[in-house]
Each structure stands twice: as structure tokens, then as C-alpha cells.
Amino acid sequence: MKADKNIKTEAQTTEDSTKKTGGKAGYAVLGAGIAILAVTSVLSVRFALKSNLNSAIDTAYEALDSDLIYDGVYIEEVNIGGLTKEQALERAEKDYAGPRLDKYFTIQAGSYSKDVSYTDLGASFDFSDTIEEAYRLGRNGSKAKRIENAEALSERPEYLVTAIKVDKSKIKSALKDIEKEIKESGAAQGSMKIDALADNIEKQMLLGQSDIIFNVSFE
């Protein structure tokens, strides 16, 4: 009697089962390998991006980690960004102090008349604290924070102010010299009211006034 062709022997069944199991295992291994490669690729990309970011931060920080004041820093209208402290001082004295000290009053007594500048009267500016403050702006925090601060300054500039220094004793000293000139010219005799005049001139200088004529009287 012939065996039914549709009936598989035990050996054939075992062989088929092994083939199927082996195929599933192969797919599992392949899938695991692909997953590992994918994770590795993601980590590699993240590492590369982080490395590039850190490199960019380091490069930008090196540009900021110099002896220059960051861009976007002003002493009122005078731009001192991108300068060293020494260069900032030179610019401040020329472009900020210069115009503010180049102001004049006129002292008159009889036929005598003399123009005197703020500088003649002892006025000055001290920029040391202001420039030090300008240099420190944006230089706090981590590298990334300092880069952020520098970018913020360039977008939203910082404007600093330096007050004029007026020394009343120097005003009085200048007025005493003028008093002597007036007497020598014969325009007036006696004593000039120096204290009252010095108080008035000091007030006007602190206000930034100029082109005022002071008619002085003698006692």
C-alpha cells in the first residue's frame, strides 16, 4: 500500500520546522542589527552636532575673550564698542569731553571783557570708572551666556553717562587771576565778589550752560 503523498514523515516535519524557526531567528537578528545601527547613527549625529556646537561656542568665545569692550556700548552718543580701554579713553576725551569742555562764559567789568572756557575754570571728566564698567558689560556667566550677552548688547546697546567734575576752588583761582587783570587794565578797582560769582558759575557749569555774560561788580 502506497503512502499518502500529503502525509509528511516525522523527519520532513522536523526539517520544515527548523527552516521556519531559523528564518524567524535570522529576521530577528537582522532587525536587532538594524536597530543598533539606527541608535548608533542617532548618537553619532547628536555627538557631531554637540561637538560642532561646542566648537562654535569656543570659537565665538575666543573672539569675545579679548581685551576689547563689546560692541553696543556707548558713553551717551559716543560709541566705544570694539575698543581697548586705552582706545576708549582717548575717544571719550576727544569726542565726549572735548565738546562739553569747549564751552565759554564771558566775564565783563567796565571796558574789560574776557571769554573763559570750562577748561579754564578747572572743569574735567574722569572716565576711569565708566570705562571699567563698559569693559565688564556682558562678561559674566558661562561661555554661552557671554555670547548671549554680547549678542544682546549689539541688539540693545547700553548707554553710560559720565558726570562733569567741577572744582569750585579752581573756579575761584581763575576768577582771582581775572580780578588782577581787570585792576591792571584800569577797568575797575576794589575787590570783586568772587565767592558769589563762583557759586553762580559752578551752577551753570553743572547744568551744561554756555555763552552767558557775567557782569561783575567791585566793592
Per-residue pLDDT tens digits for 102-123: 999 999 999 999 999 999 999 9
64's CB contacts (< 8 A; 6+ apart) are 70, 138, 146, 147, 150
The answer on 188 and 206 residing in a single domain is yes
Residue 3 counted as domain residue: no
The answer on 199 and 93 residing in a single domain is yes
Domain residue limits at 88: 73-215
The answer on 158 and 116 residing in a single domain is yes
- Those residues of the chain that have pLDDT short of 70 are 1-65
Residue 11 counted as domain residue: no
159: three-class secondary structure by DSSP = strand
The answer on 126 and 174 residing in a single domain is yes
85's CB contacts (< 8 A; 6+ apart) are 67, 69, 131, 132, 135
Residue 36 counted as domain residue: yes
- Which pLDDT score is estimated for 177? 96
The answer on 144 and 85 residing in a single domain is yes
Residue 2 counted as domain residue: no
Looking at the structure of the chain, the number of domains it has is 2
CB 148, CB 138: distance < 8 Å? no
The answer on 166 and 114 residing in a single domain is yes
- Which pLDDT score is estimated for 2? 42
CB 137, CB 73: distance < 8 Å? yes
The letter for the amino acid at 77 is E
- Which pLDDT score is estimated for 173? 96
